[in-house]
Amino acid sequence: MKKNFAHTLLLLSFLIILVGCEEDITLDYAEYDPKMVVEGSIFSGEYAEVILTKSTGYFEEINLNDSTLIELFGIPVYVPTYLYNTVIFDATVVVSEGGQHDTLQLIPDLNVFPFVKYRGSKIKGEPGKSYDLTIEYDNQEYWAQTSIPLPVPIDSLWFEPAFQEEDSPGFIRGLFSDPKGVRNYYRIFSKTLGRDSTYVHPFVSIWDDTPFDGQDSIEFRIFHGDNKLEDPEDPNRFFFLPGEEVLIRMCSIDLPHYRFWVGYQQNSGGGGNPFANPAPVEGNIPNALGNWGGYGVYETSFFVDSLQVDSLNLKSP
């Protein structure tokens, strides 16, 4: 009895000492210096498009309930205030190639946040050429270069149901032949007519030809991409449905462009987990975040038919 009492008294004394040693700790964080974030692309056969925003600090307060009503070219739009404050509206953006210069203009695009983008009107992308991007903003200049590789055609496509029931949703499979003697990097997009307002990409959208360099009949699989602005609760948003017509883009990209998406994909796969292994996102724009990338496009259409095993309705780009 006395022994138990002594143990209890000792434990209480120890706890009192710990409580008495408590000290409030305040961490002082250095003021965050925002960086420009560039989302720039030029597809073969199309004008360049660039979205410009500013990065925010990890510990900055975000109010998800605070929205701002703005007018974009006469169109009223509600946007989260903290995101709207990051958009860059007044930069000078120029794309150059072979002595030609194209000053991009700010236009609305309600299908992709932040609902505005800079778009060219003079220079369209061509395979085999390189394109310079110059951005002037807040007394600073940013520069990057990208190239558009030759596109690689798709040989065939077919639909594979995900479940056993009739008219099951599913995904699209395809075959292509990898060119011999050339290191190739690929990215895939799709646009389902009547469902997608823009081209979307599946979560895993890139690959390189290291495992199959120069081989024929390389098989790949396409899931429907996720556009967060359109039907985020749709249970079939990652699948294609029988009766849909799908535009598919098989794109060739250069090595720096590929490295950027590898890092982006690895970081996105962590789901924001602070304990996940860090993966660097290698952009190609000094002193800024993001990427300026070219795409060599092979485009084809595909009609999803659950009774059709194979489809050869491919067209030249």
% residues pLDDT > 90 (the chain): 56
Q: Is the pLDDT of residue 233 over 80?
A: no
3-state secondary structure of 111: coil
Q: What is the pLDDT of residue 315?
A: 40
Q: Which amino acid is at 28?
A: D
Least confident range from 76-80, 155-159, 263-267: namely: 76-80
Mention every residue, 6+ apart, whose C-beta is less than 8 A from residue 114. Answer: 51, 53, 79, 83, 84, 86, 87
Nearest to 284 by CA among 310, 302, 306, 258: 258
Kindly indicate the confidence band of residue 63, based on its pLDDT and cuts at 50, 70 and 90: low
Q: How far apart are CA 142 and CA 96, in angstroms?
A: 13
